[in-house]
Amino acid sequence: MTATQKNSSLTMRQLFDQDTWTHTYLLYDAEGMEGIIIDPVKEKLERDLKLMDELGVKLKYVLETHVHADHITSADDIRQKTGAKVIYGHGAGVECADGTLKDGDTLKFGSFVVKALSTPGHTSGCTSYVIENMVFTGDALFIRGTGRTDFQQGSSEALYKSVNEKLFTLPDSTLVYPAHDYKGMWNSTVGEEKKYNPRLGGGKTLAEFVEIMNNLKLANPKKIDVAVPANMRCGKTD
């Protein structure tokens, strides 16, 4: 999927890993071909490298929205292959990162600016990224859902605050691109989620949200025991 936003030189490819329901995003400035990739998956390394090579993208950054528990990132592999710098949110505590972003920090690729929003709650280090009229929300906000809050320093109270005070204050027309989707959805808008998100939309109170999250009764991700330690090392498994 390709989306062109505002300035015609910004191109975005939305990619998917069907085994872990993970969205990966490749964005680049078509004028200088400098780009970034968000939340890459280790098993899809060759796909992503081939696509970047075919398109002629010069990768500048690998951005991670958080320390994933359901898949291993290919961040370090991509860094070794392309020279791109690996970036996490400051609260993630990932020492292998080349840089971290605090709330409000920015970085550039081509003529475009990425702004970091600290959105903890799913994990303590979750960070969303705003680029033009798009926001890449990781596991903080899904399409008609949210990430869970029952492990990795998760907090329903923190997630409620992150979504309502950060993500839901963006313009209603802002396009929402999450790290996962389990229902065959590719994107949404802030306005839609404010109205229709069953966990947080429609003016849900904190108490209502906490009750919903406390009663999810979800099994742990299958790869959590290997994914979290590997992702604390930027995807290194040896």
Question: How far apart (Å, rounded) are the C-alpha atoms in residues 76 and 234?
Answer: 5
Confidence of residue 4 (pLDDT cuts 50, 70, 90): very low
- C-alpha pair distances (Å), 43 with each of 21, 87, 179, 202, 235: 13, 20, 16, 38, 11
Q: Which residue has the tokens 């999250």?
A: 213
pLDDT of residue 7: 52
CB < 8 Å & 24+ apart, contacts of 16-20: 17/41, 17/43, 17/44, 17/71, 19/43, 19/71, 20/70, 20/71, 20/180, 20/223
What span, in angstroms and rounded, lies between the C-alpha atoms of 96 and 213? 32
Cα–Cα dist 218/144, whole Å: 17
pLDDT, position 3: 41
pLDDT band at 193 (very low <50, low <70, confident <90, very high): very high
pLDDT in tens, 70-110: 999 999 999 999 999 999 999 999 999 999 999 999 999 99
Report d(CA 194, CA 112) in Å as an integer: 27
CA distance 118 to 127: 5
Tokens 């993970």 correspond to 22
Which of 58, 85, 24, 40 lies closest to 235 in space, CA to CA?
40
- pLDDT for residue 182: 87
Q: How many residues make up the chain in this entry?
A: 238
Q: What is the pLDDT of residue 6?
A: 44
CATH fold label, 2-218: Metallo-beta-lactamase; Chain A (3.60.15)
pLDDT value of residue 238: 80
Averaged pLDDT of the chain? 95
Q: Encode pLDDT of 196-234 as tens digits.
A: 999 999 999 999 999 999 999 999 999 999 999 999 999
Two structure tokens written together for 30:
């078509």
**Residue 105: what pLDDT?**
98
Domain boundaries, the chain: 2-218
Residues 129-175 have pLDDT tens digits of 999 999 999 999 999 999 999 988 999 999 999 999 999 999 999 99
Cα three-residue angle 38-126-59, rounded to 5 degrees: 20
Could you report the per-residue pLDDT of 9-66, keeping only the tens digit for each? 999 999 999 999 999 999 999 999 999 999 999 999 999 999 999 999 999 999 999 9
